[in-house]
Amino acid sequence: MTAKPFSLPGRTWTVLAVVVATLLGSLVFYLHSPWGHGDVDLYRRYARAFWLGPHAFHSLPAEYPILSLLPFSLTLLPPLPDDVTVYGLWMLLLLIVGLLAVARREAPRVAETCGVYLALGGFGTVLGRFDLVPAAVVAGAWWAVRDRRFVLAYTLLAAGTLLKLYPLFLLPVVVIEHRRCLGGPIRSRPPRALVGGVALYAGAVAAGFAVAWLLAPGSWLDPILYERARPLQVESVPASLLWLSGLIGFSVRPDHSFHSYNLVGTLAGPLSALSLLALAAGCLSTYWRQARGRIGFGPALVLSLLVVICTSRVLSPQYLIWALPLVAFLERGHRRRWLGVCALTTAVFPFGYELSSLHGTGAPAYPEPFLALIAARNALLVASTVGLLRSVPAAEPEPRRLVGSVL
């Protein structure tokens, strides 16, 4: 029997064309502006230092794991003078291929929603950052779990962790779903297939860091230490709480370090500690609810990711790229609250930054409306996360059992 040819409705082609045109506009008018391509320049420096520098093959990125060098190297391929356009077109190609895959795997309407979310919420970041790469890898892990291909799911999660560390928090969600598929009493000894899957993930991640240690013994842990040392980035939820503390008399002041704009002040330490506790409590609560059958795999994965984003001390605008496709997968269409989160995120970056003259390396000064705009976005983001938790089904149907499977 011949497979039915894949085709998209005209409306989907129209929406995707508008998405591509919008992002091409971002590439031409924003990424090529004087302050729009700083991250692409940084990626190019990292790639050149690793492949062509005086310490070739021993110079690793300071804040990213070792596999990040793969997308960074796209700034050098082909070796044209305009590396910003080269890199932006690579990311645009990945986006187009990804949206077509979403249309085929999920539904054309879901692909439309993904495209609209990413163009609206990532106008200044989708083509100028590499976060689309780990987001695509995590989406692949989502589909692998749905297909009960757990070897592939663990492998993709490991690759995602070595690109950008956040997929580490999604591992328990995959493990719980794998255990559920294998059947048997939840408190019994873990099946060999489950142990093998976790070992595969752990071994792949350990191998990545081992290679980093062999290449650069003094800096292989830098991606972890770098994140731990950072202050509250101005766009994060804890930073918005710190700003609000300044309105009632606590000391709050701007800071520019670690390639980002931040806030420091009297309550920065306690808020950092509380954000860490909130991260642990939110993730553990999600894992527990999933293990008890109160939420299914998809909601647990998306909620874990949103908890990481909402509680992090750093909330760069590109972080939404991690979550928006999965939100569209889960909700099967657009929701006004997420459109609002996307619109406010782009209002903050790049437009709020530009209007506030926040670029370069000088000492920052944040206008109050800029900080209020960030706080409004963060309030809507947290409310949307809670709304998603309340709107998802209580549990998913029983999974297809894995009979005689190794992994």
Percentage of the residues of the chain whose pLDDT score is greater than 70:
93
Within-domain flag for 121? yes
Within-domain flag for 359? yes
Within-domain flag for 1? no
213-243: pLDDT as tens digits: 999 998 888 988 888 889 999 999 999 999 9
75-88: pLDDT as tens digits: 999 999 999 999 99
For the beta carbon of residue 184, count every other beta carbon within 10 angstroms.
12
96-135: pLDDT as tens digits: 999 999 999 999 999 999 999 999 999 999 999 999 999 9
Q: Exposed, middle or buried: residue 156 (CB in 10 Å: 0-12, 13-18, 19+)?
A: buried
State the sign of the Cα–Cα–Cα–Cα dihedral 331, 335, 340, 345: positive
Confidence category of residue 5, pLDDT binned at 50, 70, 90: low
**Is pLDDT at 161 greater than 60 in this prediction?**
yes
**Is pLDDT at 1 greater than 70 in this prediction?**
no
9-25: pLDDT as tens digits: 999 999 999 999 999 99
Within-domain flag for 149? yes
**End-to-end CA separation in angstroms for the chain:** 30
**Is pLDDT at 262 greater than 60 in this prediction?**
yes
Query: Measured at the alpha carbon of residue 391, what is the angle toward residues 389 and 393, in degrees to the nearest 5?
Result: 90
**Tally of domains within the chain:** 1
**Is pLDDT at 311 greater than 50 in this prediction?**
yes
Residue 143: per-residue pLDDT: 98
332-383: pLDDT as tens digits: 766 899 999 999 999 999 999 999 989 876 778 999 999 999 999 999 999 9
404 Cβ contact partners less than 8 Å away, ≥ 6 residues apart: none
Give the global pTM.
Answer: 0.94
Question: Amino acid identity of 9?
Answer: P
Within-domain flag for 396? no
Residue 389 CA to residue 333 CA, distance in Å, equals 16
Smallest CA-to-CA distance from 258 within 213, 306, 223 is with 223
Q: Which tokens sit at 24?
A: 């091409």
290: domain range?
11-221+231-391
Residue 397: per-residue pLDDT: 53
CB 363 within 8 A of CB 254: yes
176-222: pLDDT as tens digits: 999 999 986 666 788 999 999 999 999 999 999 999 999 999 888 89
Within-domain flag for 67? yes
**Is pLDDT at 265 greater than 60 in this prediction?**
yes
DSSP state of 258: T
Between these two residues, 94 and 1, which has the higher pLDDT value? 94
**Is pLDDT at 401 greater than 60 in this prediction?**
no
Within-domain flag for 4? no
**Is pLDDT at 3 greater than 70 in this prediction?**
no
19-71: pLDDT as tens digits: 999 999 999 999 999 999 999 999 999 999 999 999 999 999 989 999 999 99
Q: Which tokens sit at 371?
A: 């900080």
Residue 201: per-residue pLDDT: 98
CB 44 within 8 A of CB 138: no
For the beta carbon of residue 274, count every other beta carbon within 10 angstroms.
14
Residue 188: per-residue pLDDT: 73
Q: Which tokens sit at 5?
A: 């040819």
Question: Amino acid identity of 186?
Answer: I
Residue 255 CA to residue 249 CA, distance in Å, equals 19
The backbone torsions φ and ψ at residue 139, rounded to the nearest 5 degrees and listed phi first, read -60, -40
**Is pLDDT at 400 greater than 70 in this prediction?**
no
Residue 333: per-residue pLDDT: 67
Within-domain flag for 399? no
Residue 376 CA to residue 41 CA, distance in Å, equals 31
**Is pLDDT at 92 greater than 90 in this prediction?**
yes
